[in-house]
Chain A
Amino acid sequence: MATYRLTVNGQPREVTVDPSTPLLWVLREELKMTGTKYGCGIAACGACTVHLDGIATRSCVVPVSLVAARPIITIEAMAEDPVGHAVQDAWVEHDVVQCGYCQSGQIMSAVALLKAMPKPTRTDIQESMGGNLCRCATYVRIREAIESASQQLGKEVRR
């Protein structure tokens, strides 16, 4: 066991866990932040996506010992993030969610995409979101919502 000082959504947090514990389980079990989901456990589905130092990261395969001082942002912080808020609004507007299980990861990936690339093409969206699986197959609505959020954010920048 070892003690780690983490910064999660801007707040300092301290956990004492085995160094091999994946970040996902630190968030869910130790910090009781259950918005980030467990899907496959092998980085194949994207449900566990968080932002680690601004980079969309699969928290299920990152041992907490490798996080170091990098800030962690989770789905719980998206409502307060301008891009995250726009994406969530677009998600509602397009009624994206079906069962909803994968959507935290989908939104975290979509936000990472739009922060890096405010006007993505359909190919950009397909490539960036290609690692986030949705068993309800809401892919068309996800793409439309990202395009909508991109347009909305573009309008806000122009104002």
Chain B
Amino acid sequence: MSTSLGRTLQAASLALIACGVWAGASSPSSAREAAGRVSAAPSSAMGLAAWQQVYSVLISPRCINCHTATGYPQQGDDRHRHFANVVRGPEGKGVPALQCVTCHQESNADSTGVPGGRGWHLAPLSMRWQDPSEKVMSSAEVCRAVTDRSKNHNLDGPGLVKHHEEEPLVRWAFQPGRRIDGTPRTLPPLTHDEFVAATRTWAEAGMPCPRGR
């Protein structure tokens, strides 16, 4: 191999690696694969990029409608107040004669348009991702809440990955069933696999949060 050819190949290899890292920064699954190749934790920049992917899911209606700052859940892509005067109740499960499970069963009821999953309930107020005026909180604010173990049921990075991977209501968001008119509910912007991979990349990067408010 001539010296010039060797240098050309070396340059091409470096370019490919650079592309891989760049792709990883914008694509969580690629980031994880890239991290795996070098057997090192993802960089903070990769973690922040992965967090933005996670955040895009958390603030989608399928998630944030039950992560409200209000005394009631929301519903629909326009996040309107849940009908039938449903209220949060002391444990986020409604009140005695009007519980979440008064309507929501353990699986979707597509024939009647009622979504369902095991243990249907609202997230605690400590995990609200809206402000009291129902405005979606910023990426930095949500990240700080999600990583605050005094607010998040004491979950560390692996705990958050497990939560996103296995919690039935998290999984429901990616298989939300059909509306009463038979049309499918809008999905979050990532697949469940992509969401878990992004969470893992972010966790492995040390759960970095964006700066600012």
Chain B: residues with Cβ within 8 Å of the partner, total of 25
Q: Which of B85, B87, B112 contacts A63 (CB 8 A)?
A: B112
Q: Which of A44, A63, A66, A113 contacts B97 (CB 8 A)?
A: A113
Q: Is the Cβ of A56 less than 8 Å from the Cβ of B99?
A: yes
Asked whether A63 and B98 contact (CB < 8 A) given A43-B103, A58-B103, A131-B84, the answer is no
Q: Is the Cβ of B98 less than 8 Å from the Cβ of A56?
A: yes
Q: Which of B103, B110, B113: most chain A Cβ within 10 A?
A: B103
A22 near B: Cβ within 8 Å? yes
Q: Is the interface of A mostly helix, strand, loop or mixed?
A: mixed
Chain A: residues with Cβ within 8 Å of the partner, total of 32
Q: Which of B98, B101, B109, B180: most chain A Cβ within 10 A?
A: B98
Contacts of B114 in A (CB 8 A): 43, 61-62
Q: Is the Cβ of A58 less than 8 Å from the Cβ of B96?
A: no
Residue ID in chain B nearest A42 by CB atoms: B180
Give 14 A-B pairs besides A63-B112, A128-B97 with Cβ atoms closer than 8 angstroms.
Answer: A20-B110, A43-B112, A56-B99, A57-B102, A62-B112, A62-B114, A66-B109, A116-B96, A117-B96, A127-B89, A129-B98, A131-B86, A131-B98, A132-B97
24 residue pairs bridging A and B, Cβ less than 8 Å apart:
A20-B112, A22-B112, A42-B180, A46-B84, A55-B99, A55-B101, A57-B103, A58-B103, A61-B103, A61-B112, A62-B103, A63-B111, A66-B106, A66-B116, A112-B96, A113-B96, A128-B96, A128-B97, A130-B87, A131-B84, A131-B85, A131-B97, A131-B98, A132-B97
